[in-house]
Structure 1
């Protein structure tokens, strides 16, 4: 898993998504319960099965509710590259946070 150097790191979630789209991560992945369906082939995977290539974490300067994480992921079945965006931190859904923990440990 690679992360950019501090000089080229995106400053916010929108920049991270735009950077990943420019790198070919064009599908929109989402956690649904305890699974992540591939938007291209439809195969449902456990978060720990996704291939995490890149990720960016953003912390709200004044509001913890602004914390988010952006992943550049690949489907292990068909190789589709896409983006998975989620809030994290104290205001995030505990079930989603548990799944994100599985996802980040994979990478």
Structure 2
């Protein structure tokens, strides 16, 4: 069995108390822009740029689960584009997940592995 050559992002053990804490930490690390997910690409409206799946890397992934309401589930992504643009994407998952292309699904597929196992 051969190992995939595509590097998969790791959902890291969530060491943040809140989504807000995670966002603040990524901002301190230079993830200054906000990305929106479209069917075939990511959008950075502030820069008026679109990034196809082959033009960005997911560098950080943190999952947050609502304690009392399953609709509060979200994932915080730290993303770096090939041109050096760094930003975040906050994505709801579950019943509110948006329809995206197979290429975007593949890009956001993650390996469930805790930081402690590295």
Report if TM-score (shorter chain) is over 0.5.
yes
Output the aligned Cα RMSD: 2.9
Q: Which has the higher helix share?
A: 1
Give the alignment of 1:36-51 within 5 angstroms. Answer: 36-39=42-45, 42-47=48-53, 49-51=55-57
Count of matched residue positions in the alignment of Structure 1 and Structure 2? 103
Partner deviation per Cα, 1:2-58 (whole Å, 9 max, x = no partner): 66666xx11221111111001110111111232113457644223454201111000
Unpaired runs of 5+ residues, structure 1, are none
Larger radius of gyration: 2
State the TM-score, normalizing by the size of structure 1: 0.75
Give the alignment of 1:1-107 within 5 angstroms. Answer: 1=9, 9-39=15-45, 42-47=48-53, 49-76=55-82, 78-89=83-94, 91-96=95-100, 101-105=105-109
State the TM-score, normalizing by the size of structure 2: 0.69
Unpaired runs of 5+ residues, structure 2, are 1-8, 112-118
